[in-house]
Amino acid sequence: MTEIVFPPMLRAHRVRLAVITTGAGLCLGLLAPFGSYLNSGLIWRLLYWCGSIWFGFLLFGGTWLAWRRQARSLKRVRWPLLAVMLIIASLVQAMITRISALMIWPELHQHAPGWTVWYLQSGLIAAVGFICVIILKQRSTTHDKSANSGPVLVERPARTVPLGKDIIALQMEDHYVRIHTRTGSRLAHMTLTEAIETVGPVEGLRTHRSWWVARAAVDHIEGTPRSMRLHLEGNIVAPVARGAVALLREAGWLDATGNK
């Protein structure tokens, strides 16, 4: 199977999800499934389907995150609870999309499918989207495993994780920290603060709430104080929060790279 390779600007997790979600809405608006091709106005169909997909993404994404936070403590009932939560979320999705469609196209009152059919259609779209997200997640995890020379997850106490002069950056990902080094990257189960403490004497700064960067790994700095990025070794790009720009300037990072 051909691997999907995203351009650099689309490799950010949130940007990629936004592009995929919007693209799915536009495709459904053009294909007009479930008889929606009978509804007048291409622009309205595109807006309806994009809005429906975005609402579903936020609804089911929020449901998944809420469940995952409690999954470990739920033990035996966690999977039945997830099923119930998804069923309820599908019901909410069906209600909102049906009401929206009737507001946009009042003529649907005469020939719109019943609530049961509408619910099943909404559930089908949600299931397909859920499966696609899982597949993309698995492909991303597989890609990370093949790119790293060591284990993907480091399930050890934070203070025993070997960091040293090869460190490039630390990146927070959910409850894990991705450790970027010159030999690859891996995930460690710890907080970003704990990871920074293990770096030792390596000079670096926390440039963002989810990033710490080693100064020696900075190739060049791009952007303005309102939108600044650090280009690091290994084609890694780290964001710089506006509040961290002053820290970079005080530490001499901007002057050293010719930025003002």
Q: Give the CATH number for residue 187.
A: 2.40.50.1020
Burial of 255 (0-12, 13-18, 19+ CB in 10 A): exposed
Q: Does a structural domain hold residue 29?
A: yes
178 near 152, Cβ under 8 Å? no
34 and 127 inside one domain: yes
In this structure, the answer to whether residues 118 and 227 fall within a common structural domain is no
Expressed as residue numbers, the domain containing 233 is 153-256
76 lies in some domain: yes
Q: What is the structure's pLDDT at 138?
A: 67
Residue 2 resides in a domain? no
Q: Are residues 181 and 55 in the same domain?
A: no
The reply to whether 100 and 181 lie within a common domain is: no
Residues 78 and 198 in one domain: no
pTM of the model: 0.49
Q: Does 22 fall in a domain?
A: yes
* Mean of per-residue pLDDT scores for the chain: 80
What would the two tokens of residue 88 be? 């309820």
| CA–CA gap between residue 187 and residue 77 (Å, rounded) | 29
Pair 195, 161: CB distance under 8 Å: yes
Specify whether 129 is located in the same domain as 113.
Answer: yes
Ranges of residues in the chain whose predicted pLDDT is under 50: 1-6, 8-10, 144-161, 258, 260
The answer to whether position 3 is within a domain reads: no
Q: Give a yes or no: residue 1 inside a domain.
A: no
The answer on 30 and 128 residing in a single domain is yes
Which residue shows structure tokens 């790994």?
217
Residues 123, 223: one domain? no
What pLDDT, on a 0 to 100 scale, did the predictor assign at position 51? 92
- Would 66 be classed as within a structural domain? yes
Helix ranges, the chain (H): 13-31, 42-74, 78-104, 108-111, 115-147, 192-199, 242-250, 253-256
User: Residue 142 has what pLDDT?
Assistant: 52
Query: Residue 219 phi/psi, 5° resolution?
Result: -85, -50
> Rounded distance, CA 210 to CA 191, Å?
10
Residues 27 and 63 in one domain: yes
Element (H, E) at 227: strand 227-232
Query: From CA 212, how far away is CA 96, in angstroms rounded?
Result: 42
Q: Which of 89, 14, 100, 83 is nearest to 56 (CA)?
A: 89
Domain stop point among 108, 125, 147: 147
User: Of the residues 147, 163, 185, which one is the last residue of a structural domain?
Assistant: 147
Determine if residue 258 is left, alpha or beta; phi over 0 gives left, psi from -120 to 50 gives alpha, anything else beta. left
Residue 259, pLDDT score: 52
Q: What is the pLDDT of residues 89-109, one digit of tens each?
A: 999 999 999 999 999 888 888
Q: How many domains does the chain have?
A: 2
CB–CB of 187/193 below 8 Å?
no
Q: What is the pLDDT of residue 89?
A: 92
187 and 139 in a common domain:
no
Tell me the two tokens of residue 99.
Answer: 């009401």
Phi, psi of 230, deg, nearest 5: -105, 125
Q: Are 169 and 133 contained in the same domain?
A: no
> Do residues 107 and 163 share a domain?
no
254, β-bridge pairs: none
Domain boundary at 111, 128, 147, which?
A: 147
